[in-house]
Amino acid sequence: MNRVITSMALLVLGLVTALPALAQTGEPIKIGVIQPLSGPVAASGNYVRMGTEIARDWINARGGVLGRQVQLLIEDNKSDPKEAATAAEKLIVRDKVPVIMGAWGSSMTLAAMPKLEEYGVPMVVETSSAASITKRGNPWVFRISPPSEMEALGLEKYLKDFGIKQADFLAVNTDWGRGAATAFGDLLKRSGAAVGATEFMDQAATDMNAQITKIKAGTSDTLFLTTGVEQITLVLKQAQEQRLARKVITTGGSSSPSQLIKQAGPAAEGTYHILFFTPWFPEAMPDGKLAKTFVDEWNKRGHPFEGLTEGFRGHDGIMTAADAIKLAGKPDPKAVRDALWKVNIMGVNGPIRFEKDGPAGKESGQSKPSIFIVQIRDGKIALPTFAAKK
């Protein structure tokens, strides 16, 4: 009897000491993801999420990170900054993630940023465009998407080809829309062009006829449009209805031209779009092979083709985070933060490497993404005639 008890005790003891070791090798590395999965921009948030899942599966198929599988903990910020902050807190405190990717909209990212500093956990920002995100002196922020100013610079070399003398702006009434209107407006003024009217639309608005009528009454030759694909569709349809004959350039990278062709039809003909990924010509991307493989995998999973122009952000964000963990050697937030400065990889958009941005001593990281322009011609996506030659 005693022997049975003793051997059982030894067995239990053995298991108890062995278990942590067993758990360690099996335990996955967690990466937090905060996106708007419900609310007015749910489509975009979901596309990004789909991109993160592809990245995770590819990484795990190649053996994971540091020999462990990657697990994504995905939180919905419900398009509300308060929820973004709560989600960040939950991921950091409850789930103990060493790094987060998020949070799509600029005000959601800004709301989560104090939590990053409070707990010392880095975040890879994949979509937000407000300049203040990297200028606030938060050393835990690393952005791979371009701020509006950088996006405007990307347009600079094509300005002469566009031949813009005066442009109007119609933007969504959020930090993104306003920031874009300011950034592109400054670009135009620097280059000798004039700025006409600057109109805004509420994020949930569906009727923009008043703004279009006002713009039509002006003398500009170009209209800059900054908002999500849903509102762009509505604006283009209503512009067609009012016979607004202008050159239209959409900014922000969320215009999903394929979806526009489907939903706006002839109203989208001739419009230009600034994007950060051209899934119709993946070979033209800096790493053509990676881009093509990504497009194929996306299609294989049955995801809507329109979502590619945003889904890649999720992929690049997770690749960046995973690479940082690998360089750090351990899933420790501070080590990962330091490692992020050393990241030098090729994402779907192009090279990802962080430069210092913001007040000295507390810089955030900002990468310089590639910027592309496409045009809708004859119901298909094409490179603008002048760009094809370059």
Q: Please give the size of the binding site for another protein, defined by CB under 8 A.
A: 65
Residues 51-90 that bind another protein (CB under 8 A): 74-76, 80-82, 85-86, 89-90
Contact 277, 348 (CB under 8 A): yes
CA–CA distance, 349 with 372 (Å, rounded to integer):
10
Q: What is the nearest approach in angstroms of another protein to the Cβ of residue 128?
A: 11
Q: What is the nearest approach in angstroms of another protein to the Cβ of residue 174?
A: 4
Residues 22-51 that bind another protein (CB under 8 A): 37-40, 42-43, 45-46
- Strands (E) located in 87-193: 100-101, 123-125, 141-143, 166-172
Residues 101-160 that bind another protein (CB under 8 A): 106-107, 110-111, 113-114, 130, 132, 136
DSSP letters spanning 254-298: ---HHHHHHHHGGGGTT-EEEES--TTSGGGSTTHHHHHHHHHHH
Q: Which positions ≥6 away from 345 have C-beta within 8 Å?
A: 319, 320, 323, 351, 352
Q: What is the nearest approach in angstroms of another protein to the Cβ of residue 216?
A: 7
Element (H, E) at 135: helix 132-135
Q: What is the nearest approach in angstroms of another protein to the Cβ of residue 214?
A: 5
200 binds another protein, rule: CB under 8 A: yes
209 binds another protein, rule: CB under 8 A: yes
Secondary structure letter of residue 99 according to DSSP? -
3-state secondary structure of 42: helix
225 binds another protein, rule: CB under 8 A: no
CA–CA distance, 360 with 339 (Å, rounded to integer):
19
**Positive or negative: CA dihedral 324, 329, 330, 336:** negative
Q: What is the nearest approach in angstroms of another protein to the Cβ of residue 282?
A: 22
Residue from 33, 141, 164, 234 in contact with another protein (CB under 8 A): 234
Q: Which residues contact another protein (rule: CB under 8 A)?
A: 37-40, 42-43, 45-46, 74-76, 80-82, 85-86, 89-90, 93-94, 106-107, 110-111, 113-114, 130, 132, 136, 173-175, 178-179, 199-202, 204-207, 209-211, 213-214, 216-217, 229-230, 233-234, 237, 240-243, 262-263, 265-267, 304, 307
